[in-house]
Amino acid sequence: MTALAYKYHSQRARKRKKAKLNFKALVSTGTASLNLALASVINRLPNTTSISHPKSPRHPSWFYIQNMDCKSWGSRDIVFLCIIVLSLIHVSLGAKVRHFKWEVEYMYGAPDCQEHVVMGINGQFPGPTIRAKAGDTIVVDLTNKLHTEGVVIHWHGIRQLGTPWADGTASISQCAINPGETFEYRFKVDRPGTYFYHGHYGMQRSAGLYGSLIVDMADGEKEPFHYDAEFNLLLSDWWHKSVHEQEVGLSSNPFRWIGEPQSLLINGRGQYNCSLAAKFSNSSISQCKFKGNEKCAPQVLKVRPNKTYRLRIASTTALASLNLAIKGHKMVVVEADGNHVQPFAVNDLDIYSGESYSVLLKTDQNPYKNYWVSIGVRGRDPKTNQALTLLSYSATPASKLPTTQPPVTPRWDDYNHSKAFTKSIYALMGSPQPPKTYDRRIILLNTQNRLNGFVKWAINNVSLVLPSTPYLGSIKFGLNNAFDQKSPPDNYDSSYDIMKPAPNQNTTQGSGVYSITLNTTVDVILQNANALAKDVSEIHPWHLHGHDFWVLGYGEGKFKDGDEKTFNLKNPPLRNTAVIFPFGWTALRFVADNPGVWAFHCHIEPHLHMGMGVIFAQGVHRVGQIPKEALACGLTGNKQN
Ligand SMILES: *[C@@H]1O[C@H](CO)[C@@H](O)[C@H](O)[C@H]1NC(C)=O
Ligand SMILES: *[C@@H]1O[C@H](CO)[C@@H](O)[C@H](O)[C@H]1NC(C)=O
Ligand SMILES: *[C@@H]1O[C@H](CO)[C@@H](O)[C@H](O)[C@H]1NC(C)=O
Ligand SMILES: *[C@@H]1O[C@H](CO)[C@@H](O)[C@H](O)[C@H]1NC(C)=O
Ligand SMILES: *[C@@H]1O[C@H](CO)[C@@H](O)[C@H](O)[C@H]1NC(C)=O
Ligand SMILES: *[C@@H]1O[C@H](CO)[C@@H](O)[C@H](O)[C@H]1NC(C)=O
Ligand SMILES: *[C@@H]1O[C@H](CO)[C@@H](O)[C@H](O)[C@H]1NC(C)=O
């Protein structure tokens, strides 16, 4: 008996029907042409209604410009201006408001074939995919159907220009939404790219509160690369222990670490107690047997030969750094965190929590075979099996398993491999360049410490604790008793030896804020160090809210004056998440041009829980009227604004 006995429906209509019931099933059974129809199917899902933007008044001069031929405008510059004006008009007329009604709840699910409680949205895990076009406005009416806890959702990678209260960070941009309450998130997706959304209250992301957010180019705009169809791979890791139990363990004395994940998930699906490639495994794990309709059955990527596919890959893991490979196929990286990069080919790719990539894949291999797609753990001694699925050519049934072993994930501690990949990422020519100098440099040393016996992460010796009143409200209204008024330091004691455990493990706790002058250029140097145990320094992917930053460089050991000479100011990639390697530093530059209060933190969920983050506030007096529902708690609970 074959391991994968997928049934393929010959009738397109039946496929469509199934797709409507479960959009994810479409990815697994769809043919290339069907996948092309993905966007339109998503738009027709019952919970995704598109409402046209109220039409701009037909101003006579607009009408005139719209019907003009740019060439008749004369000089080159004017023609260029004319094209820009036309494309702006095009964008504004094409933009839509996309409404969603979501209910967040705990429900039973079996992401890795074992039943546990997961967080779902409208009964789905992962949550529904949002698909929009650049310039669209997304409106999500989020109802909290949890029984006893609040909820918020962060739109990861969306800068929230002009809507800092919609960033979805509890205690920072808004109050957690109480059980039974509904909060309206309304924000613009201004740039195309591969994004995702997730819970940002406690460790709700680890509980499964996440989904994809894909923004296509605006009408009339084209990607700088070609592809025939696309797949979406949202990667995560999964624990059998509940998030509540994980949180309690992390906040206990003695400390109880969450351990390594039981499973890795691709689009919310993994296999805990069996393997699709058991005979190649070195453990005694048994072979998975699926009929195909199980919710933990892998989604097969069904492809046609001689085509180019775009894989949109995003990682919302709680802990794991991952490596993805497709047997026999190279991938060309074209997008990172919503920004185009100089295309480069790889056999495998490292992806850290909070990052996203698009890669192009040519189906140029023997179409009478299927190929393993594998995801394995990097950066920590892995105790979790690879997640596997298949790239299946249309000529070959998906039930025909490859006869060769899945790709072997590079050794977890082969950091040279990780660095080689990370350092190959450059901005595509023509991308915005960083300012040549900075106004302020903030060096952030991370250390693992103790606080009255509890284990914490601290930044410049301050472990972040969030206040009960959201910063956005307390800063705007000048409520000085809402959080620590003392700013955390811009640097650390230069005599601190980053290569050794702290001589004095004790640290401090605080809720202070880095106040950044609006429109200034800030350099952040993330400095890694030894953790509590000797010779241990971990990988930390840092994510900035409200901005992209340029990644100017990476280095080993302690950042020193003069290291800025090695910065790449020519074509550094723009990203919203960047990793610091063990015992190393990473240099970032951003322009503080987005009024609001923004978190900047390690995207590893338990690390943030243990205090590994900082808060940047900028131009809060310039923030427009904040919806009062966002501030209906703490000291802002009865403020009128
Ligand atoms: C794993 O699978 C084996 C055999 O299929 C079964 O006996 C065992 O109970 C399973 N273990 C778990 C933890 O599900
Ligand atoms: C199993 O062990 C063999 C020999 O040590 C090794 O070549 C192979 O890569 C291992 N397989 C996996 C899936 O790790
Ligand atoms: C793919 O293209 C190559 C060369 O362009 C051609 O030789 C081959 O027959 C094609 N394969 C299929 C399955 O169409
Ligand atoms: C990694 O690269 C460094 C510098 O290129 C080299 O000195 C070191 O030996 C490499 N480490 C491994 C494990 O290959
Ligand atoms: C560290 O803090 C503990 C209390 O939690 C205290 O007993 C100890 O003396 C402190 N150690 C140093 C070196 O300050
Ligand atoms: C951090 O703060 C603690 C408590 O005040 C202090 O004992 C320790 O020396 C500080 N560590 C550093 C590296 O400044
Ligand atoms: C910041 O820059 C933006 C545009 O770059 C400008 O509109 C705004 O007025 C500037 N604000 C300040 C306080 O300089």
Asked if residues 149 and 247 have their Cβ atoms less than 8 Å apart, the reply is: no
What three-state secondary structure class fits 19? helix
User: What are 105-120's pLDDT values in tens digits?
Assistant: 999 999 999 999 999 9
Which atom number of ligand 3 is nearest to the Cα of residue 305? 13
The bound ligand whose nearest atom lies closest to the alpha carbon of 410 is 2
- List pLDDT tens digits, range 542-599: 999 999 999 999 999 999 999 999 999 999 999 999 999 999 999 999 999 999 999 9
How many whole angstroms from 366 Cα to the centroid of ligand 3? 10
The answer to whether the CB of 408 is under 6 A from ligand 2 is yes
Whether residue 126 is preceded by a cis peptide bond, meaning omega within 30 degrees of 0, is yes
Query: Which residue puts its alpha carbon closest to atom 4 of ligand 7?
Result: 593
Please name the residue whose Cα sits nearest to atom 2 of ligand 1: 273
CA of 423 to the centre of ligand 4 (A): 15
For residue 135, the SS3 value is coil
Q: What percent of the chain has pLDDT over 70?
A: 85
| Cα–Cα distance, 55 to 59 (Å, whole number) | 11
For tokens 């990667």, what's the residue?
235
For the cut 80, the answer to whether the pLDDT of residue 43 exceeds it is no
Q: How confident is the model at residue 64 (pLDDT cuts 50, 70, 90)?
A: very low
Instruction: Give the residue carrying structure tokens 């290569």.
Output: 499
Q: Calculate Rg over the CA atoms of the chain.
A: 24
Kindly tell me if the per-residue pLDDT of 639 is higher than 80. no
pLDDT surpasses 80 at 82: no
Enumerate residues lining ligand 3, CB below 6 A: 305-306, 367
563 lines ligand 7 (CB under 6 A): no
**Residues contacting residue 183 through CB under 8 Å, at least 6 positions apart:** 141, 142, 144, 152, 174, 177, 629, 630
Give the bridge partners for 413, in sequence order: none
Per-residue pLDDT at 12 exceeds 60: no
Amino acid type, 588: L
> Nearest to residue 333, comparing CAs of 350, 354, 315, 352?
350
pLDDT band at 176 (very low <50, low <70, confident <90, very high): very high
Sequence-separated (6 or more) residues with CB below 8 Å from residue 111: 118, 125, 208, 238, 263, 265, 268, 269, 270, 295, 296
pLDDT-based confidence at 638, cuts 50/70/90? confident
Contact at 8 Å (CB) between 137 and 96? yes
Answer whether residue 7 shows pLDDT above 50. Answer: no
- pLDDT for 293: 85
Q: Which amino acid is at 261?
A: P
Quote the pLDDT of residue 640: 53
User: Per-residue pLDDT for 56 more than 50?
Assistant: no
Looking at residue 87, its pLDDT comes to: 52
Q: How far is CA 545 from the centre of its chain?
A: 11
Say which residue the tokens 């290339």 belong to.
32
Rounded Cα distance between 271 and 249, Å, is 26
In this predicted model, what pLDDT tens digit does every residue of 384-418 receive, in sequence order? 999 999 999 998 998 899 999 999 999 999 999 99
Closest C-alpha to ligand 5, atom 8 = 506
Estimate the share of the chain in helix, then strand, then coil, as percent rounded to the nearest 5.
15, 35, 50
Judged against a pLDDT cut of 50, whether residue 617 lies above it is answered with yes
CA atoms 100, 101, 102, 108: torsion sign: negative
Atom of ligand 6 nearest to the CA of 502: 13
Mean pLDDT to the nearest integer, 129-144: 98
Q: Angle CA(140)–CA(638)–CA(186) in degrees, nearest 5?
A: 15
Mutate to test the pocket of ligand 1, among 112, 273, 275, 285 (most ligand atoms within 8 A of CB): 273
User: Does 282 sit in the ligand 2 pocket, CB within 6 Å?
Assistant: yes
Give me 283's structure tokens: 């453990």
Q: What residue type is assigned to position 45 of the chain? A: L
**Is residue 186 within a helix (H) or strand (E), and if so which, with residue range?**
strand 182-188
CA distance 353 to 318: 7
Enter the tokens of residue 208. 């499964």
Q: Which residue has the tokens 């989904």?
A: 211
Nearest-ligand number for the alpha carbon of 517: 7
The answer to whether residues 449 and 464 touch, using CB atoms and an 8 Å cutoff, is: no
CA 115 from centre of chain: 26
- The answer to whether residues 425 and 336 touch, using CB atoms and an 8 Å cutoff, is yes
DSSP secondary structure letter of residue 72:
G
161 lines ligand 7 (CB under 6 A): no
Task: Express each pLDDT in 180-196 by its tens digit.
Answer: 999 999 999 999 999 99
Do the strands 613-618 and 514-516 form a parallel or antiparallel pair, or are they unpaired? parallel
Q: In this predicted structure, which of 61-70, 216-225, 354-363, 470-479 has the lowest mean pLDDT?
A: 61-70
